[in-house]
Amino acid sequence: MQNKDVTRYELPPQGITLLGYVARRMHKTALLNDIPALLRESKTAEALEAAARYAVTSSTSFGRAFYQPRFNRVGEAIEEKDPQTGALIRVALVSASPHYHITYTAKMNNGDVFEGEERITGTTLGLRGLGMPAPSKFRFASGDYAAEMSGLLTSELAFSLWGGTKIRAYGSLRCQDNFGNAATIAIDRRQKITFTPTRP
């Protein structure tokens, strides 16, 4: 799927709310499908990378920013299924002041669970565009396997006189699991993802 098709799905022509946008952004749970097989082969480091890649990609968008989603009221939540995998996605707006605090869960059909939260702390204006930094935390569980990821991911609106407004992101997460694996994962403005194992 091309980037422009991804953002057209996340920001459909009929309009969407902020929670709806976040839910559609999470419709990438196919990235979690291989984790049970990896764990059966004791490939826990590869499982950590798969969970981390989903955390980064489900928290970011790359492509054309067609419009700004409509805001939800505090306390609202939505549930819908990822059409590709059937995973149940739940997204809730916990608070809007002093920061937008959003929580979300993806429940896979096999019982695996991905949970996360982000706090959009405001906006920053720079030479590259309008940034929206969001300190984020994530957890993933599959049987007796558990992973945690945390860090700062910044969404950015880049303005262009020729190509319209683009949305992109950058940032990094620290990752670790209960099998002694540790790593960092980073994403840059060109959507390149780098996973680097580290010492726990």
What's the pLDDT score for residue 15? 96
What's the pLDDT score for residue 91? 98
DSSP secondary structure code for residue 70 in this structure: B
Can you give the residue range of the structural domain that contains 50? 3-198
Residue 100: strand, helix, or coil: strand
What's the pLDDT score for residue 159? 85
What's the pLDDT score for residue 2? 42
Q: pLDDT tens digits, the chain, 200 residues: what are they?
A: 444 468 999 999 999 999 999 999 999 999 999 999 999 999 999 999 999 999 999 999 999 999 999 999 999 999 999 999 999 999 999 999 999 999 999 999 999 999 999 999 988 887 778 999 999 999 999 999 999 999 999 999 998 766 689 999 999 999 999 999 999 999 999 999 999 999 76
Q: For residue 106, give the amino acid letter.
A: A
3-state helix, strand, coil in the chain (%, to 5): 20, 45, 35
In the chain, how many domains are there?
1
84 contacts 108 by C-beta, under 8 angstroms: no
What's the pLDDT score for residue 4? 47
Partners of 78 in beta bridges: 91
| CA separation for the pair 86, 80 (Å, rounded) | 9
| CA separation for the pair 120, 101 (Å, rounded) | 7
